[in-house]
A and B are shown apart, each in its own frame.
Chain A
Amino acid sequence: MFELGIADLARGLEAGDFSSEELTSAYLARIKEKDSVLNSYITCCEEPALQQAKAADAARASGKATGLSGVPIAHKDIFCTDGIRTTCGSRMLETFIAPYNATVVEKFNQAGMVTLGKTNMDEFAMGSSNETSYFGAVHNPWDLERVPGGSSGGSAAAVAAHLAPGATATDTGGSIRQPAAFCGLTGLKPTYGRVSRWGMIAFASSLDQAGTMTRNAEDSALMLNIMAGHDAKDSTSIDIATEDYTANLDKPLDGLRIGIPKEHFAEGLKPEVEQKIREALTEFEKLGATIREISLPNNGLSVPAYYVIAPAEASANLSRYDGVRYGYRCDDPKDLEDMYKRSRSEGFGAEVKRRIMVGTYALSAGYYDAYYIKAQKIRRLIKNDFDKAFQEVDLIMGPTSPHTAFKIGAQNNDPVTMYLEDIYTIAVNLAGLPGISIPAGLVENLPVGLHIVGKSFAEAQLLNVAHKFQQQTDWHTHTPGI
């Protein structure tokens, strides 16, 4: 049962092979048994999960179950859940219980899906290794000494270790795709605006996007069918009709034009990783695609631009955590200023404070033009690079990360090295485009991710391409054997 993905579980439930209650109980028991070594969940929702499972079984018995009804999933602890605590990986929200559901959570609940728990993450989604979580580092199921990637490291580790058949995740600079690559999963970041951000705790508003962490492209399509769509409560969500993302999964790839950015195959890319990516590209050629080299000349500026824009937005987004209305408040503040200073100093971790300071600096009088405005101009150039590339090719492919999962603690001494983790993924967020990472092989028994980027709202195409690859290869079926 734990080998089954979301699509298979839905078929099993429909066929009566097992009930949602059996399935949910089994997963809850497995989480209890295995997660002590992984730390992939911050909160496990036993009682409410079983209630949801029973309700789904009852709905099925009365013929009212639809689609994924009764299938359990996990939610990244960045999505607010009514009545269940939402920490965002921070001490600041250690005891915070939202009185509302994120739109994403609400949609999965409406679809009858079961919430197993809330997954661990880098604090406020700031990190690429899941080591900044107040609730401790997450361990990669492929090698417990290694990181699962971040910030959606908990979702990735849980799905890879079969502690959930699928999970929600979010991606601001690579936070779905990089952990998907490190854990051998399919991680989809949709187009900015495709999925509502309402109730999803903000890191960098103009970059944050919710997506999926699954075992294969079909599962991702099924989840996206539920998540996607315009939401009047999110002014940046886009009012363009959604589609059935499973409808074209099997479409042949004949004539597909794939672009390979030369900047993504340059210095820094580990040769073994490059080899796996090249092998994957060969598979696409066999499927009828043509491959050509392209250039994204401003790619090198994406990390510096991102580390101005994202912290700038974050510095304001995180101002609300002031100890006044909810969240962490220091003991015995002697006055208002003391309360602000100590609540925020004690409630936030080092990486969050670093980014608040960077962002505050970038927005300060005298520096705003040199940093924020300049970064916005670079953002425009990066978008132009993609627009130009997409005149010649349909999709862009390359490695998701320059290497495989690194050891816990290995990159803690230098924030800039850590920031370079997202060198291939970050430009996609700056341009607002959809991207997916799919398993493309193993190097020393660690997964390698292939990164595929499409035009705006090309999610169906990305999933189609990923699915065809997964029919041709079996990398996505490899498991860490936990």
Chain B
Amino acid sequence: MTWETVIGLEVHVQLATASKLFSGSSTRFGAEPNTQANIYDLAMPGTLPVLNREALRMAIKFGLAIDAEIAMTSVFDRKNYFYPDLPKGYQTSQLDFPTVGKGSLTVTLEDGSSKTIGITRAHMEEDAGKSLHEDFHGQTGIDLNRAGTPLLEIVSEPEIRSADEAVAYLKKLHSLVRYLGISDADMSKGNMRCDANVSIRQAGDTEFGTRTEIKNINSFRFVEKAIHVEVERQIDILEDGGRIVQETRLYDSDRNETRSMRSKEVANDYRYFPEPDLLPITIDEAYIEAVRATLPELPDAKRERFMSEYKLSEYDALVLAAERETADFYEAVVAECGDAKLSANWVSVDLQAYLNQEEIDIDDSPVSPVQLGGLIKKIIDGTLSSKTAKTAFALMLAGEGDADTVINNNDLAQNSDMEANTNIVVSVLKNHPDQVEQYKSGNTKVISFFVGQVMKETKGKANPQQVNEILKDELSK
């Protein structure tokens, strides 16, 4: 039997505002517990919410970037439930009239094909605090620093058909919100979180199967794994003649399995109703246009430009344009050295390999774009070979200085002295008459033997390109 997977994702992105959605408290991550919770965040009696206009602007910015309908009037609602880290006993969210309506996101898949995934809506809501179960001798501590932090919940249509597509969608969202400057979207810090609605059906079916919701998956890799194990679980059940129960499940990354949350925790009637402490948000076209004017160049447009302006392959352009920081870094390298292709290779291969290995962001790269451009210039002018350039780059990454410094200190410059190199070539040829004979009888491959010999004589410093040219010259005499 062939099963088709149907996935819809609900992604919570923490908006990068300085203060909370309805209060002036700071949203900074990692402060001492409860130092960033004011009387509103504590839900003290008589306190009232005031909308952070910056959060609204960011939500609209996102909406414009996914080409969505922006609501001229949107409404906050109260979502009622009791939990110790939810101080008001309700979360202020948007139910029927979200700020951002239908839009879409086009993702590029592994095989190079692209797919457009519909986005149902995106709405603003406030985050809850945190319950701390350690260090309280059997009691629970509450930290309300995060309570009231603005979130944008982005809900996709159930148009995702595999774990790979889900990851591609998430990565694209991640890239987009960072481009827009509206979120750090750091999954490890919880400022991008993902719930996945997963169901399966037989290929060709038009009806959806019963879905389960997998909560709080906190990395791209876990999204992929969680969906895989959940799909397998559902297939096993259906193929054994069972039935899928609509429920909320938690992904346990240690055991790589999903498991049911107690029904008590999820059987909530949230009793939504319009938040009477806030008036509906109304905006006009002029406001939307003002926000639109602040949109940066987005990943797709940047990729196109990289292909036309720098003549990059689609693949290189995709890789370099995926993250705004990488793209900015790349363009700064090109500006310094003038060689778009070499710059692309160095940024996307050599530098990226180092960053991956060290697990650091490109913004924290020990080699600046100007320094990397300087290194590439030394390749272009022949001072470095591709091999010595890698040596120089390793030294630069180790903090030994810029290209000039490491070349001088480590005697890395290759010898491009025409006369000296010609003399060496002539002597090598003289010492290997048999090989010269082979070359002349048509075995041109033997030229690499000569190059090797010259390099041996010069301890690898001779400019290999130049040596090649001299060899061809001399051998044709």
A positions within 8 Å CB-CB of B: 79-80, 86, 88, 93, 96, 98-100, 102, 197-202, 204-206, 232-236, 312-313, 315-316, 318-320, 322, 324-326, 336, 340, 360, 363-365, 368, 372
Assembled-state Cα–Cα distance A364/B273 (Å): 10
Chain B residues closer than 8 Å to A235, beta-carbon distance = 48-51, 277-279
Selected contact of B78 from candidates A100, A199, A316, A325, CB within 8 Å: A316
Which B202-227 residues have C-beta < 8 A from chain A? none
Assembled-state Cα–Cα distance A205/B273 (Å): 13
Q: A100-B39, A206-B276, A324-B142 are in contact. Are A198 and B89 (CB under 8 A)?
A: no
Chain B residues closer than 8 Å to A320, beta-carbon distance = 43, 45, 87-89
Assembled-state Cα–Cα distance A372/B276 (Å): 13
Q: A205 near B271 (CB under 8 angstroms)?
A: no
Selected contact of A202 from candidates B46, B50, B279, CB within 8 Å: B46
Chain B residues closer than 8 Å to A200, beta-carbon distance = 46
- Of the A-B pairs whose beta carbons lie under 8 Å apart in the complex, a sample of 10, sorted by A's number, is A100-B39, A199-B46, A232-B50, A236-B279, A316-B90, A320-B45, A322-B82, A326-B44, A336-B84, A363-B80
Q: B87 near A363 (CB under 8 angstroms)?
A: no
Q: A88 near B51 (CB under 8 angstroms)?
A: no
Q: B46 near A198 (CB under 8 angstroms)?
A: yes
Assembled-state Cα–Cα distance A232/B49 (Å): 10
Assembled-state Cα–Cα distance A204/B89 (Å): 15
Q: A325 near B276 (CB under 8 angstroms)?
A: no
Least CB distance, A108 to chain B, in whole angstroms: 16
Q: A236 near B42 (CB under 8 angstroms)?
A: no
Q: Mark B126-145, 1 if CB is under 8 A from A, else 0.
A: 00000000000000101000
Q: A325 near B90 (CB under 8 angstroms)?
A: no
> Which residue from chain A places its CB closest to the CB of B84 in the assembled complex?
A324
Is B111 close to A, CB under 8 A?
no
Is B47 close to A, CB under 8 A?
yes
Q: A316-B80, A322-B82 are in contact. Are A236 and B277 (CB under 8 A)?
A: yes
Chain A residues closer than 8 Å to B88, beta-carbon distance = 316, 319-320
Is B32 close to A, CB under 8 A?
no
Least CB distance, A463 to chain B, in whole angstroms: 27
Q: B43 near A316 (CB under 8 angstroms)?
A: no
Least CB distance, B316 to chain A, in whole angstroms: 50
Q: A313-B276, A319-B88, A320-B88 are in contact. Are A340 and B48 (CB under 8 A)?
A: no
Closest 5 pairs between A and B when the two form their complex, measured CB to CB: A319-B89, A363-B271, A205-B276, A206-B276, A320-B43
Is B269 close to A, CB under 8 A?
yes
Q: B271 near A360 (CB under 8 angstroms)?
A: yes
Assembled-state Cα–Cα distance A402/B80 (Å): 38
Q: A363-B273, A368-B273 are in contact. Are A340 and B46 (CB under 8 A)?
A: no
Chain A residues closer than 8 Å to B142, beta-carbon distance = 324-325
- Interface residue range, chain B: 20 to 34
Assembled-state Cα–Cα distance A403/B258 (Å): 65
Assembled-state Cα–Cα distance A368/B273 (Å): 9
Assembled-state Cα–Cα distance A200/B44 (Å): 11
Q: B273 near A372 (CB under 8 angstroms)?
A: yes
Which B25-51 residues have C-beta < 8 A from chain A? 39, 42-51
Q: A325 near B271 (CB under 8 angstroms)?
A: no
Selected contact of B273 from candidates A79, A88, A316, CB within 8 Å: A316
Q: B269 near A364 (CB under 8 angstroms)?
A: yes
Assembled-state Cα–Cα distance A200/B271 (Å): 24
New contact pairs (5) apart from A100-B44, A198-B46, CB-CB < 8 Å: A205-B276, A232-B50, A236-B276, A316-B80, A324-B84
Q: A233 near B80 (CB under 8 angstroms)?
A: no
Chain B residues closer than 8 Å to A79, beta-carbon distance = 46
Assembled-state Cα–Cα distance A29/B34 (Å): 43
Q: Mark B61-99, 1 if CB is under 8 A from A, else 0.
A: 000000000000000001010101001111000000000
Q: A198-B47, A232-B50 are in contact. Are A324 and B78 (CB under 8 A)?
A: no
Chain B residues closer than 8 Å to A88, beta-carbon distance = 45
Assembled-state Cα–Cα distance A102/B47 (Å): 9
Q: B45 near A98 (CB under 8 angstroms)?
A: yes
> Which residue from chain A places its CB closest to the CB of B142 in the assembled complex?
A324
> Which residue from chain B places its CB closest to the CB of A80 in the assembled complex?
B46
> Which residue from chain A places its CB closest to the CB of B277 in the assembled complex?
A205
Least CB distance, A233 to chain B, in whole angstroms: 6
Least CB distance, B279 to chain A, in whole angstroms: 6
> Which residue from chain B places its CB closest to the CB of A96 in the assembled complex?
B45
Q: A233 near B89 (CB under 8 angstroms)?
A: no
Least CB distance, A76 to chain B, in whole angstroms: 12
Assembled-state Cα–Cα distance A96/B45 (Å): 10
Chain B residues closer than 8 Å to A80, beta-carbon distance = 44-46
